Amino acid sequence: MKKIIIASTSTIHNSQYLEYLLPVLKNHFNNVKTLLFIPYARPSGITHDEYTQKVATAFSKLDITVKGIHEYENPTQAIAQAEGIFTGGGNTFLLVKQLYNNNVITAIQKAINNGTPYLGCSAGSNICGLTMETTNDMPITYPPSFKTLGFVPFNINPHYLDPIEGSTHMGETRETRINEFHSLNSQPVVGLREGSWLEVQGDTITLRGNLTARIFEQGKAAVEVVPDTDLSHLK
């Protein structure tokens, strides 16, 4: 049975890295002693080792040891044997390119569909959707495909941002961008604000956190849904 947390962000304002999620993660990873971390998205270009160390510090509060996937000779085997998997945020284009280049897409899908608990934050959440085509990131490198893991039958827009009142900037708002996505693509998009996450338990998908989320479906007006809404029907 799938057991997944798809979080908008690792970090909320005025809080430590992953701090707001720790009570949830304690339960989510309750059988995990060693967590496999995928640092490929490398925020601000930090190294895989630096990123893994940052994550290890956060998970030490739950007495969970963290090992980076780059520390293993055989990443596919590391995934198959993992007790739990966490993919951190950063740049989605770089993350997806590395997932393809290291040939681990299928291994992750198999492990998570078989019940290995998964956590994604930001870029690590984007890849839980059907495609990465609703990421906010800059395309700093060219991945071989935009198709992603498809743990949910729609797309994710993490760090969802409402239009800034009084802004004089003429660049597209997030909603305009997602509407442009829907001029070419039919799958729904869930705009997750910072502090929200989706909890996936088998085929049940539930919005968690204290904030509403914004749901975009092709040809319909966007709607706000409240925390604890069941989104399992969305596809």
CA angle 111-91-196, nearest 5°? Answer: 70
Q: Which stretch binds a copy of itself (CB under 8 A): 7-15, 48-56, 60-68, 69-77?
A: 7-15
Q: Does 233 help bind a copy of itself (rule: CB under 8 A)? A: no
Structure tokens at 94: 């770089």
Question: Of 8, 70, 137, 196, which is the active-site residue?
Answer: 137
Question: Of 28, 70, 159, 182, which is the active-site residue?
Answer: 159
Q: Does 125 help bind a copy of itself (rule: CB under 8 A)? A: no
Phi then psi for residue 88, to 5 deg, are -85, 170
Q: Does 135 help bind a copy of itself (rule: CB under 8 A)? A: yes
Q: Which stretch binds a copy of itself (CB under 8 A): 49-57, 181-189, 208-216, 220-228?
A: 181-189
Q: Which among 48, 38, 56, 50 is positioned nearest to 127, based on CA atoms?
A: 38
Cα separation, 39 vs 97, in Å, equals: 12
Q: Which stretch binds a copy of itself (CB under 8 A): 62-70, 77-85, 109-117, 162-170?
A: 162-170
Residue closer to a copy of itself by CB (options 79, 93) is 93
CA torsion through residues 198, 201, 203, 206, sign: negative
Q: Does 140 help bind a copy of itself (rule: CB under 8 A)? A: yes
Number of residues near a copy of itself (by CB under 8 A): 45
Which of 77, 103, 180, 227 contacts a copy of itself by CB under 8 A? Answer: 180
35 and 59 in contact (C-beta within 8 Å)?
A: yes
Q: How far is the CB of 204 from a copy of itself (least distance, A)?
A: 28
Structure tokens at 126: 């984007």
Q: Which among 126, 149, 154, 141 is positioned nearest to 218, based on CA atoms?
A: 154
Q: Does 185 help bind a copy of itself (rule: CB under 8 A)? A: yes
Q: Does 184 help bind a copy of itself (rule: CB under 8 A)? A: yes
Which of 65, 103, 176, 210 contacts a copy of itself by CB under 8 A? Answer: 176
Q: Which residues are catalytic?
A: 122, 137, 159
Point out which residues bind a copy of itself (CB under 8 A): 9, 11-14, 42-45, 90-91, 93-94, 132-142, 145-146, 159, 161, 164, 168-172, 176-185, 194
